[in-house]
């Protein structure tokens, strides 16, 4: 195996990485790619293709059975202070009796943390809420919020650690179109100062202002977003997918409700 590139310009690098939950059944196989500073990407692929596994490997929650991963030139575990992570909010217990400010403070938990937040932690949490445009939500219960508000709170939690790499898992799932557009506007701002990797089923996402499309279906291929096409999507999903261009609001029956400029249809002919 070649030596890993620990250049400061390389944010994420995987070299011949394989992982499986069961012997002889790889979830990911021989994955090699890198992401350089200043570039952001969207991770796409079918259910069960390995998207969540890839995310967990980058977070150090799983260890590759073969190959090597470097994030900022370090192991994923060592790099965690530089990584912000937003899970799908429906994976959380929304009824848990915790305030918005307490949720955001959780982003300051770190190695050696003994349960006491300092003044710097609280100020970072307040800054994150302000950046997400929700400073007044701090005292409210997380369970009282709408889906769009919860998404913004969870992004604020990820930002509270002041990351250089932001990982977002299905950030537009279960939110209405208006909240979705707010989210995309926020994301466009965040990309200007950090690397953002987003897991999404919405193929229309790839025509937003991102650089790379990371296609995951056991194997991983990386494409420039500008060159991503319906033919490329077909190879990933193993069935016919339409990328329909829209110069106006999309009122078709496509599965993904993108407003601009592409919508991912279901199978051809639908």
CA distances from 261 to 106, 122, 133, 231 (A): 36, 39, 26, 18
What per-residue string of b and e applies to 254-270 under the rule 16 or more CB within 10 Å gives b?
bebbbebebbbbeeeee
On whether residue 51 sits in a domain, the answer given is: yes
pLDDT at 266: 36
Q: How many domains does the chain have?
A: 1
For residue 21, give every residue at least 6 positions away whose Cβ sits within 8 Å of its Cβ, in sequence order, or none. 27
pLDDT digits (tens, 9 = 90+) for 37-69: 989 999 988 888 999 999 999 999 999 999 999
What is the distance between the alpha carbons of residues 270 and 265, in angstroms, rounded to a whole number?
A: 7
User: Domain range for residue 140?
Assistant: 10-264
pLDDT digits (tens, 9 = 90+) for 178-236: 777 777 788 888 888 899 999 987 666 665 668 899 999 999 999 888 777 667 666 66
On whether residue 269 sits in a domain, the answer given is: no
What is the distance between the alpha carbons of residues 2 and 73, in angstroms, rounded to a whole number?
A: 14
pTM score, whole prediction? 0.79
Q: In this structure, what CATH number is given to the domain that contains residue 192?
A: 3.40.50.300
On whether residue 130 sits in a domain, the answer given is: yes
On whether residue 146 sits in a domain, the answer given is: yes
Rounded to 5 degrees, what angle do the CA atoms 131, 136, 142 make? 95
On whether residue 5 sits in a domain, the answer given is: no
Region of 237 please: left (phi>0), alpha (psi -120 to 50) or beta: alpha
């Amino acid at each position: 195996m070649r030596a890993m590139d620990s250049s400061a310009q390389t944010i994420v690098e995987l070299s011949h990485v394989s992982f499986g939950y069961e012997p002889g059944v790889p979830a990911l196989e021989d994955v090699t790619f890198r992401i350089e500073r200043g570039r952001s990407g969207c991770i796409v692929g079918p259910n069960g293709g390995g998207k969540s596994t890839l995310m967990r490997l980058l977070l150090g929650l799983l260890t590759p059975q073969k190959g090597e991963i470097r994030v900022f030139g370090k192991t994923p575990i060592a790099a965690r202070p530089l990584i912000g992570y937003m899970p799908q909010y429906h994976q959380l217990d929304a009824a848990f009796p915790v305030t918005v400010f307490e949720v955001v403070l959780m982003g300051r938990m770190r190695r050696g943390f003994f349960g006491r937040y300092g003044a710097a932690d609280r100020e970072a949490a307040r800054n994150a809420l302000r950046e997400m445009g929700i400073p007044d939500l701090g005292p409210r219960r997380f369970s009282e919020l709408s889906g769009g508000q919860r998404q913004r709170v969870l992004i604020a939690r990820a930002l509270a650690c002041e990351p250089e790499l932001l990982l977002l898992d299905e950030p537009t799932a279960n939110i209405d179109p208006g909240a979705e557009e707010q989210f995309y506007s926020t994301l466009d701002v965040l990309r200007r100062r950090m690397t953002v990797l987003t897991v999404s089923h919405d193929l229309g996402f790839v025509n937003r202002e991102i650089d790379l499309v990371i296609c995951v279906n056991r194997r991983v291929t990386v494409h420039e977003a500008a060159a991503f096409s319906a033919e490329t999507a077909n190879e990933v999903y193993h069935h016919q997918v339409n990328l329909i261009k829209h110069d106006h609001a999309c009122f078709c029956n496509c599965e993904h409700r993108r407003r601009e400029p592409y919508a991912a249809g279901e199978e051809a002919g639908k």
